[in-house]
Amino acid sequence: MKKMLKLALATLVALSMAAPAMAKTTFVTIGTGGVTGVYYPTGGAISKIVNKKRKVYGIRATVESTGGSVFNVNAIMNGDLEFGIVQSDRQFQALKGLGEWEGKPQDKLRAVFAIHPETVTLIAATDKNIKTPADLKGMTVNIGAPGTGQRGNAIDLFEAVGLKLEDMNIEGTKPSEAASLLQDGRIDAFFYTVGHPNGSIKEAVAGARKVSFVPVDAATTAKLIAKSPYYGASKIEIKSYPGITNTQDVPGFGVKATLCTSTEVSDDIVYAITKEVFENFEDFKKLHPAYSVLTKQSMLEGLSAPIHPGAMKYYKEAGLM
């Protein structure tokens, strides 16, 4: 009996040693923004592509709706998120210890790639006759909650045109709620830094109250870029918004949405995510209208944080750097 037990035990040990080890799955979470913006579907698009190769890389990507850029940077730095979508201006400020991170540079922040351009969009009720940003004086304007990207962009624009916050009645609600506030007459205009086309903007345009995009002239844009090089000239194509009162595309300025991570996330994980997005580039572009203008080279522009070594490994292999 003892011999049989020993034999059975030895067999089990041999089988266990010969059996392939169970593949370990690494879970990564991508912080995005509100569900009506472009960040949330962008996180979903990246996850969808990466999860198709789950058996190859052992990576399972999930998406979390968050408060946006500042939240995402802080959560990445705290280890609560592995990745986050962050406006390029916030990426710059975090790395340099400016803005929300005054005196506290986030040295471990790393860039992976840039995604779609985001225009600093100012949409106003036509009945208020707001033709330029300076016309906002005395108006009720929603600029977003403290810590959001669009609030910082709005303040930069105010400074460029000589406005102070006390010159207006400032509201700080979510962009997803701003469209109904504009249509109900509770605000006169709102800011949203976003890729186009966008659901909330479409909602604002589709109501009974006529609205228009407020242009930012070339001189003001040049002034903004001279002070803050992460800004760039941009425009809103009105074909995406039937019902808008503008008759031609609207000039302005903007930033880029960027995918960020930290030095704490392994090279292998960042390499895999970068590779899958770039090697499925045409499929990725089809996942949202805001990606139609993307090129592989444009996805390497606007990165004011150092590129993560895992991403850099792929770019060098692919001859992109």
Q: Where are the domains of the chain?
A: 26-117+256-317, 118-254
190: helix, strand or coil: strand
Q: Please write the tens of the pLDDT for every residue from 193-230.
A: 988 888 889 999 999 999 999 999 999 999 998 888 78
pLDDT at 10: 52
pLDDT at 59: 96
Determine which helix (DSSP H) or strand (DSSP E) holds 92, and give its type and residue range.
helix 88-96
Q: At what angle do helices 69-78 and 88-96 cross, to 10 degrees?
A: 50
How many Å apart are CA 36 and CA 197, to the nearest integer? 11
pLDDT at 23: 57
Tell whether the model's pLDDT for residue 85 goes beyond 80.
yes
Q: How many residues does the chain have?
A: 321
Tokens of 314: 């792929």
Give the side-chain half-sphere CA count within 13 A for 172: 9
Of 16-20, 168-172, 212-216, 295-299, give the lowest mean pLDDT range: 16-20
Radius of gyration over every alpha carbon of the chain, rounded to an integer in angstroms = 23
pTM of the complete model: 0.74
Give the side-chain half-sphere CA count within 13 A for 319: 0
- Domain covering 118-254 assigned CATH 3.40.190.10 in the classification: yes
118-254 shares the fold of 26-117+256-317: yes
Q: Give percent above pLDDT 90 in the chain.
A: 70
Tell whether the model's pLDDT for residue 148 goes beyond 90.
no
Q: What is the mean pLDDT of residues 60-85?
A: 95
Tell whether the model's pLDDT for residue 19 goes beyond 60.
no
CA angle 160, 166, 168 (to 5 degrees): 80
pLDDT at 6: 52
130: helix, strand or coil: coil
Tell whether the model's pLDDT for residue 179 goes beyond 90.
yes
Per-residue confidence band for 34, with pLDDT thresholds at 50, 70 and 90: confident
Domain 26-117+256-317: CATH superfamily, name plus number: Periplasmic binding protein-like II (3.40.190.10)
Strands 26-31 and 83-87: parallel
pLDDT at 13: 47
Tell whether the model's pLDDT for residue 104 goes beyond 90.
yes
